[in-house]
Amino acid sequence: MMGITVRGLVKTYGATTVIDTISFDVADGEFVTLLGPSGCGKTTTLRCIAGLDTPNGGLIAINGRVVSDAREGVFVAPHKRDLGMVFQSYAIWPHLTVAQNVAFPLTVKGERNTGSAVGWALDIVGMTHLAERRPSELSGGQQQRVALARAIAARPQVLLFDEPLSNLDARLRDRTRLEISRIQRELKVPALYVTHDQTEALSMSDRVIVMEAGRVVQQGTPRELYHRPVNRFVADFIGSANFLEVRRAERQWHLADGTPIQVDPLSDAGGTEPRVALLRPEAIRLDAGSVVEQNSTLNRLTGSVLGAMYLGPHIEYVVAAGGAHIRAFSRLELPPGSPVTLTFAADDCRLVDDTAASPKRNPASDYPRQSPILENIP
Ligand SMILES: Nc1ncnc2c1ncn2[C@@H]1O[C@H](COP(=O)(O)OP(=O)(O)O)[C@@H](O)[C@H]1O
Ligand SMILES: [Mg+2]
């Protein structure tokens, strides 16, 4: 099989298991992201694939060749795995020129005529005109391009990225994100990309693998993860979310204050009560005052504005409604205390498993997470 295969990977440090039996595939030409909070084991997974760490269990194959098999004692050295890797720290040599840096892995391999490979790689990342510069004469973004050119110069079969954008400022991060996607598609090699940034994961990936505390929680396309998270941890980690406590009484779900609420029937497969319903802020329409018009497929809650945070494109409101604090977006300017109506479809309100974050992480759902909102709350 082409691509990357990981089966039952285990990595321990002393008595601590940091990778706990994870399995996944990256198909040929596919861009897959490992997404999860700091310390969940993303880098360790990547290092095991690169051969920089020795797994304690499981098997890793690259393009059908087993490069690591703990039980059989197989371990192929990193430089024989035919992969290119880009790190968060660019890890380029300050005393070498751009061209020499890109040529470095080829030179180490004993290749003499590196000129055309280096020229090709610099062309792909748009750095040909800076080939003779030293790293100190380059911006952070340009240094990251050098690291990228170096990773692809030997035409690797697999590309690995470990948070390659985290040292760039926001604007450059957006540009470089597009650039990495373009290059990966052009080279048609499988890529495994590690990040804790949901925007990078959603925008770049064919598939995302969400990790928590050394385990895989969910794998899927960005849309699947966003719209059908398997539990509260995934819903909370990807996008912003309201979690509403609901209880069933007389075949009907109710919010904390007893207000009846309709949920997506497809998400309603039993489970112990109280349940948690996921409601994305952008799925809510916020109107001033009290809206009375009836529509059987929509939920309508009346409430009042608790706090607001100006974000530019819209204002994020916190509304007290249904016995809960609900975040919703709007472009209306509404002072605290304003009566409002929240309208949302039953399909946009999904029951999810109430499995929250591991103790390693502060649950972002500990509302409110940003202090500006707090200031308006009485
Ligand atoms: N060399 C090491 N020795 C001991 N513990 C380590 C070592 N490397 C990583 N860890 C631990 O393994 C866990 C996973 O780390 P890491 O893979 O770097 O996470 P991530 O990249 O997701 O932030 C962390 O708890 C970290 O402290
Ligand atoms: Mg890491």
Does residue 351 register a pLDDT over 50?
yes
In this structure, the answer to whether residues 265 and 329 fall within a common structural domain is: yes
Q: Does 308 map to a domain?
A: yes
- From the centroid of its chain, how far is CA 290? 38
The number of folded domains in the chain is 2
- d(CA 63, ligand 2 centre) in Å: 24
CA max distance for the chain: 79
pLDDT digits 0-9 by tens, 184-221: 999 999 999 999 999 999 999 999 999 999 999 999 99
Least confident among 76-90, 204-218, 347-361: 347-361
Domain of residue 192: give its range. 4-225
Q: Does 235 map to a domain?
A: no
In this structure, the answer to whether residues 38 and 171 fall within a common structural domain is: yes
In this structure, the answer to whether residues 260 and 211 fall within a common structural domain is: no
Residue from 44, 47, 194 whose mutation best tests the ligand 1 pocket (most atoms within 8 A of CB): 44
- Identify the residue whose C-alpha is closest to ligand 1 atom 16: 41
- Identify the residue whose C-alpha is closest to ligand 1 atom 8: 44
Q: Does 208 map to a domain?
A: yes
**Distance from C-alpha of 271 to C-alpha of 361, rounded to nearest angstrom:** 26
- d(CA 215, ligand 1 centre) in Å: 13
Burial profile 28-53: b = 16 or more Cβ within 10 angstroms, e = fewer = eebbbbbbbbeebbbbbbbbbbbbeb
Closest CA to 103 of 54, 160, 146: 146
Closest CA to 287 of 241, 244, 332: 332
- Residues 146 and 127 sit within 8 Å (Cβ to Cβ): yes
Q: Does 231 map to a domain?
A: no
In this structure, the answer to whether residues 221 and 244 fall within a common structural domain is: no
Q: What is the CATH number of the domain that holds 320?
A: 2.40.50.100
In this structure, the answer to whether residues 89 and 63 fall within a common structural domain is: yes
- d(CA 266, ligand 1 centre) in Å: 38
Q: Does 76 map to a domain?
A: yes
- Residues 253 and 261 sit within 8 Å (Cβ to Cβ): yes
- Residues 267 and 279 sit within 8 Å (Cβ to Cβ): no
SS3 breakdown of the chain: % helix, strand, coil, rounded to 5?
A: 30, 35, 40
Does residue 367 register a pLDDT over 60?
no
Least confident among 90-94, 163-167, 205-209, 364-368: 364-368
287 contacts: CB under 8 Å, gap ≥ 6: 340, 341, 343
Q: Does 136 map to a domain?
A: yes
pLDDT digits 0-9 by tens, 118-154: 999 999 888 999 999 999 999 888 998 999 999 999 8
Q: Does 233 map to a domain?
A: no
Does residue 358 register a pLDDT over 60?
no
| Number of Cβ within a 10 Å radius of residue 57 | 17
Task: Ligand 1: list residues with CB < 6 Å.
Answer: 13, 18, 36, 38-44
Q: What value does the mean pLDDT take over residues 364-374?
A: 34
Using the 3D structure, point to which of 166, 194, 225 is the last residue of a domain.
225
Q: For residue 44, give the ligand nearest its CA.
A: 1
In this structure, the answer to whether residues 70 and 212 fall within a common structural domain is: yes
- Identify the residue whose C-alpha is closest to ligand 1 atom 11: 18
Least confident among 76-80, 225-229, 317-321, 363-367: 363-367
In this prediction, residue 210 carries a pLDDT of 97
- d(CA 43, ligand 1 centre) in Å: 7
Residue 268, Cβ density class (10 Å: 0-12 exposed, 13-18 middle, ≥19 buried): middle
> Edge-to-edge, what's the strand order for the sheet holding 315-321?
285-288, 339-345, 298-310, 315-321, 324-330
Q: How confident is the model at residue 249 (pLDDT cuts 50, 70, 90)?
A: confident
Closest CA to 38 of 166, 225, 218, 135: 166
In this structure, the answer to whether residues 9 and 94 fall within a common structural domain is: yes
In this structure, the answer to whether residues 220 and 245 fall within a common structural domain is: no
Q: Mark residue 239 as left, alpha or beta (left: phi above 0; alpha: psi -120 to 50; beta: remaining).
A: left
In this structure, the answer to whether residues 206 and 58 fall within a common structural domain is: yes
In this structure, the answer to whether residues 246 and 199 fall within a common structural domain is: no
Does residue 371 register a pLDDT over 60?
no
Q: What value does the mean pLDDT take over residues 53-65?
A: 96
| Number of Cβ within a 10 Å radius of residue 350 | 21
In this prediction, residue 377 carries a pLDDT of 36
Helix (H, G, I), strand (E, B) or coil at 355: coil
Does residue 100 register a pLDDT over 80?
yes
Q: What is the CATH number of the domain that holds 78?
A: 3.40.50.300
Identify each DSSP E strand in 135-271 by its residue range. 158-162, 191-195, 207-212, 215-220, 242-249, 252-254, 260-261
Q: What value does the mean pLDDT take over residues 319-346?
A: 96
Q: For residue 164, give the ligand nearest its CA.
A: 2
Using the 3D structure, point to which of 191, 225, 259 is the last residue of a domain.
225
Residue type, 114: T
Residue from 18, 43, 195 whose mutation best tests the ligand 1 pocket (most atoms within 8 A of CB): 18
CA separation (Å) from 36 to 40, 196, 306? 6, 5, 32
In this structure, the answer to whether residues 168 and 253 fall within a common structural domain is: no
Q: Does 43 map to a domain?
A: yes
Does residue 231 register a pLDDT over 80?
yes
- Identify the residue whose C-alpha is closest to ligand 1 atom 24: 39
Q: What value does the mean pLDDT take over residues 8-19?
A: 96
Using the 3D structure, point to which of 165, 190, 225 is the last residue of a domain.
225
- Identify the residue whose C-alpha is closest to ligand 1 atom 2: 13
In this structure, the answer to whether residues 46 and 129 fall within a common structural domain is: yes
pLDDT digits 0-9 by tens, 162-174: 999 988 888 888 8
